[in-house]
């Protein structure tokens, strides 16, 4: 195992692609603490961060045979964790929204099918338009609107300037306003 510690990320990745478990184990030990801290910082929850990082490494091993990484492995893994965190947050919000609407339904004891169908259609339309934004712009928009982070918090988290965050948010809102029209656009504000 000591020999694997001296190998570069590229060499370990090539070995892992060939099914070498020790190369995978070395990458796991090399990057797990860094990725865990990154996920914990984003999620503010230890258990959720553990789950996200474990899922990323599980996926790395399962897809190792066809893995083609065109960037530094550390960048690839950080991006994978960031995307996994964003997906986790999205799933959590959907689950919470579902549970809240179920509780509301049980509390009211009445059917609001038409309203709910319209709401779901609006929500799906808005979500589809948000997903059409460029990846970085979409990430900034989600961090701002869904997580409620300030521009400076987003800038710190993504290692970019406050001005870049402001410009990206301005452009995102402008695109969404054009695509959604005034009625639906007001729903995301």
pLDDT at position 105 is 60
Statement to judge: residues 16 and 93 lie in one domain: yes
Structural domains counted in the chain: 2
Range of the domain at 185: 111-189
What is the CB neighbour count within 10 angstroms for residue 63?
A: 11
Statement to judge: residues 45 and 119 lie in one domain: no
Query: Each residue of 94-128: pLDDT tens digit?
Result: 666 666 666 666 666 555 566 667 777 777 877 88
Low-confidence ranges of the chain (pLDDT < 70): 1-2, 94-116, 182-189
Euclidean distance between CA atoms 9 and 1, whole angstroms: 15
Statement to judge: residues 46 and 130 lie in one domain: no
pLDDT at position 108 is 64
Statement to judge: residues 87 and 133 lie in one domain: no
Euclidean distance between CA atoms 31 and 19, whole angstroms: 19
pLDDT at position 36 is 93
Statement to judge: residues 92 and 153 lie in one domain: no
pLDDT at position 21 is 93
Domain final position from 81, 108, 135? 108
Sign of the C-alpha dihedral computed for residues 82, 83, 84 and 88 taken in this order: positive
Specify the length of the chain in residues. 189
- The CATH number of the domain where 126 resides is what? 1.10.10.10
Domain final position from 87, 108, 129? 108
């Amino acid at each position: 195992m000591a020999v694997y510690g001296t190998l570069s990320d590229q060499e370990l990745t090539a070995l892992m692609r060939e099914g070498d478990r020790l190369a995978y184990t070395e990458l796991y030990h090399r990057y797990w603490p860094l990725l865990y801290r990154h996920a914990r910082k984003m999620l503010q929850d230890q258990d959720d961060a553990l789950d996200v990082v474990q899922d990323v490494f599980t996926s790395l091993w399962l897809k190792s045979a066809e893995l083609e990484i065109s960037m530094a492995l550390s960048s690839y893994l950080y991006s994978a964790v960031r995307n996994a965190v964003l997906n986790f947050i999205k799933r959590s919000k959907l689950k919470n929204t579902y549970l809240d609407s179920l509780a509301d339904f049980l509390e009211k004891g009445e059917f609001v099918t038409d309203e709910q169908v319209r709401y779901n259609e609006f929500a799906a339309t808005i979500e589809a338009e948000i997903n059409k934004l460029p990846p970085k712009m979409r990430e900034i928009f989600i961090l701002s609107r869904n997580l409620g982070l300030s521009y400076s918090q987003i800038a710190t988290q993504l290692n970019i300037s406050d001005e870049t965050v402001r410009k990206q948010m301005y452009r995102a809102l402008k695109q969404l306003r054009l695509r959604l029209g005034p009625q639906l656009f007001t729903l995301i504000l």
